């Protein structure tokens, strides 16, 4: 994609507030980077590719913004102001609540009209109150405690009254009665006068006066305490606690604002900006090709050296492959003239299979000269064991190769079934030579019967290499299906079955192509067109098989990704 601008231009754009940004910004770009073009080409042209490009652009913008280390100073200032306002509101609300609760508690107990203390005093000293009722019960009336006591000791039923009979001492008793009556009346009046509020010199009046004076002093002291607390939470007092708190908050706000201001060279934000600029300069120096000591220049040099070594290695490998192919051509020509032609075909098949197995991380073993599980049975020329990185590690595929005239397909099915049992394999692959193709495979070079795959291959015809590779991929997919069955694999195995059927169908068309090529020379264009279409379809289905095998690898527990 086109080059991005430097950090300075971005800093100008970042200063624009969100309210001034347009809702949409049309942008037309020309992509020149090879990696970006390769990634964009993986998506269908249109909405899907544009959506991917927008996502990639957004990720890049966020990454650049993160690299610049932008800090939203305006948002920090707003949050600080909001925090201070919230703190001030909560302190004011708390002070009002404390004042209301304290005033209510004092009013509840000491209010002159409705306070509990005043109410208790009134109940004690009021007319017919508790104190008067107590005195009345003790000294007033005939039923008082004092009256009953005197009646007991001096009444008509008392021993003294009986000793001083009226008939004998009427004058004395009357005198005593009059004297005692007068004394009792005086004492009663004196006691009542001491508990009367009408007499200011009475004990009860003095008690009420003292209680009233004490209550007034308590009210004045409480009011002074309340006024002192209110002064501590008042902003009008210069030395109050709330005023000192506001000053400290304002000082902290100024300190934070100065630390996040670009106008102050000593602020944290200014130091961070300088650090980012120096870091950007260092990155630019390391990402330039003009400087031989930069990281990018050294990387370019190392990549060129690796490519040069790789080119030499490829050239050596190509020479070795050319010599090997020349030897194989000579060996095939000699084998065609000798009686060991069938054995040579088995060797070529095993060599081809071994090469394909190594590419997929599997292990191929030659077993044609070894006895298997069945006594004295050597059926099975080679066995492929799926590697540990596959979706079914340890599963086996047995391969049997034949170049014998008149070898029927039914006999081949019996032999490959015996080979599976002899080698303990889940899937069998039988390879016919194109020179001895059975009639059943003349029109279709690839067939499948249950867990057995049959294919026709000509080592000298590169087109048939695709048949054998397809047969190997098909056998591998069947091996995975047989080894690991589960509900989660059902959809993928169904896709594999569809791909297998399509491969079989396309191979039938390749048989038709072979017939046309052998019988009709005028259909060359038709043959070429059908070959191209069939080859493309086969390649697509092989890719489908590989993709589904990889999906199975992710679904199966403990299995790693395939190569």
- pLDDT above 60 (res 393): yes
pLDDT of amino acid 341: 46
Classify residue 29 by its DSSP letter. -
Split at pLDDT 50, 70, 90, the class of 4 is: very low
What is the rounded distance in angstroms from the CA atom of residue 362 to the CA atom of residue 511?
31
User: 3-state class of 400 per DSSP?
Assistant: strand
What is the rounded distance in angstroms from the CA atom of residue 189 to the CA atom of residue 149?
19
User: 3-state class of 430 per DSSP?
Assistant: strand
- pLDDT above 50 (res 159): yes
Average the pLDDT over 231-246 and give the result: 76
Cα angle 502-508-512, degrees, rounded to a multiple of 5: 140
pLDDT in tens, 60-84: 888 787 666 555 566 677 778 888 8
Residues 6+ apart with CB under 8 A from 166: 173
> What tokens were used for 491?
């959809």
Contact 396, 484 (CB under 8 A): no
Split at pLDDT 50, 70, 90, the class of 559 is: very low
Quote the pTM value: 0.34
Query: Nearest Cα to 128, choosing from 115, 119, 137?
Result: 137
- pLDDT above 60 (res 18): no
Cα angle 251-254-259, degrees, rounded to a multiple of 5: 125
Give the residue ranges of DSSP H helices in 156-267. Answer: 159-163, 166-194, 203-232, 241-259
- pLDDT above 50 (res 91): yes
What is the rounded distance in angstroms from the CA atom of residue 108 to the CA atom of residue 61?
67
pLDDT of amino acid 13: 47
What is the rounded distance in angstroms from the CA atom of residue 216 to the CA atom of residue 196?
23
Classify residue 384 by its DSSP letter. E
Classify residue 253 by its DSSP letter. H
Can you state the angle between helices 524-555 and 462-483, rounded to 10 degrees? 30
- pLDDT above 60 (res 170): no
pLDDT in tens, 101-150: 888 888 887 777 777 777 777 777 777 777 777 777 777 666 777 777 77
Average the pLDDT over 338-366 and give the result: 82
Split at pLDDT 50, 70, 90, the class of 562 is: very low
């Amino acid at each position: 994609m086109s080059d991005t601008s430097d950090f300075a231009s971005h800093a100008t754009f970042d200063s624009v507030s969100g309210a001034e940004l347009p809702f949409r910004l049309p942008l037309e770009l020309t992509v020149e980077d090879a990696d970006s073009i390769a990634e964009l080409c993986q998506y269908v042209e249109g909405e899907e590719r544009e959506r991917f490009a927008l996502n990639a652009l957004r990720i890049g913008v966020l990454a650049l913004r993160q690299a610049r280390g932008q800090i939203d100073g305006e948002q920090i200032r707003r949050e600080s102001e909001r925090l201070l306002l919230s703190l001030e509101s909560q302190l004011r609300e708390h002070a009002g609540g404390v004042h209301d609760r304290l005033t209510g508690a004092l009013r509840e107990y000491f209010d002159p009209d409705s306070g509990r203390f005043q109410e208790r005093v009134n109940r004690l000293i009021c007319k017919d109150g508790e104190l008067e009722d107590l005195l009345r019960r003790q000294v007033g009336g005939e039923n008082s405690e004092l009256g009953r006591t005197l009646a007991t000791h001096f009444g008509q039923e008392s021993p003294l009254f009986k000793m001083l009979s009226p008939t004998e001492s009427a004058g004395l008793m009357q005198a005593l009665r009059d004297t005692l009556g007068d004394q009792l009346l005086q004492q009663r009046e004196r006691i009542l006068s001491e508990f009367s509020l009408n007499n200011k010199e009475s004990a009860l009046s003095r008690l009420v006066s003292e209680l009233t004076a004490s209550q007034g002093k308590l009210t004045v002291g409480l009011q002074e305490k309340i006024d002192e607390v209110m002064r501590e939470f008042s902003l009008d007092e210069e030395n109050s606690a709330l005023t000192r708190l506001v000053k400290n908050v304002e000082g902290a706000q100024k300190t934070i604002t100065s630390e996040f201001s670009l106008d102050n060279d000593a602020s944290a934000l200014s130091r961070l900006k300088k650090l980012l600029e120096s870091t950007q300069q260092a990155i630019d120096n390391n990402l330039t090709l003009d400087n031989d000591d930069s990281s990018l220049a050294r990387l370019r040099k190392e990549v060129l050296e690796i490519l040069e070594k790789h080119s030499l290695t490829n050239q050596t490998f190509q020479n070795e492959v050319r010599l090997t192919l020349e030897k194989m051509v000579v060996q095939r020509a000699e084998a065609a003239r000798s009686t060991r032609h069938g054995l040579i075909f088995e060797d070529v098949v095993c060599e081809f299979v071994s090469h394909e197995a190594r590419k997929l991380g599997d292990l191929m073993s030659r077993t044609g000269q070894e006895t298997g599980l069945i006594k004295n049975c050597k059926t099975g020329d080679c066995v492929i064991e799926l590697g540990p990185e596959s979706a079914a590690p340890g599963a086996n595929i047995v391969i049997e190769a034949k170049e014998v005239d008149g070898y029927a397909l039914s006999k081949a099915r019996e032999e490959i079934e015996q080979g599976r049992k002899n080698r303990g394999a889940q899937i069998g692959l039988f390879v016919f030579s194109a020179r001895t193709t059975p009639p059943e495979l003349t029109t279709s070079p690839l067939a499948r019967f249950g867990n057995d795959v049959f294919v026709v291959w000509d080592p000298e015809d590169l087109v048939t290499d695709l048949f054998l590779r397809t047969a190997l991929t098909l056998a591998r997919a069947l091996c995975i299906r047989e080894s690991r069955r589960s509900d989660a694999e059902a959809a993928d195995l169904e896709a594999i079955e569809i791909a297998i059927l399509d491969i079989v169908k396309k191979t039938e068309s390749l048989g038709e192509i072979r017939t046309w090529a052998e019988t009709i020379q005028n259909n060359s264009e038709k043959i070429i067109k059908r070959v191209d279409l069939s080859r493309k379809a086969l390649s697509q289905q092989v890719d489908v098989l590989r993709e589904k095998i990889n999906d199975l690898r992710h679904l199966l527990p403990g299995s790693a990704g395939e190569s």
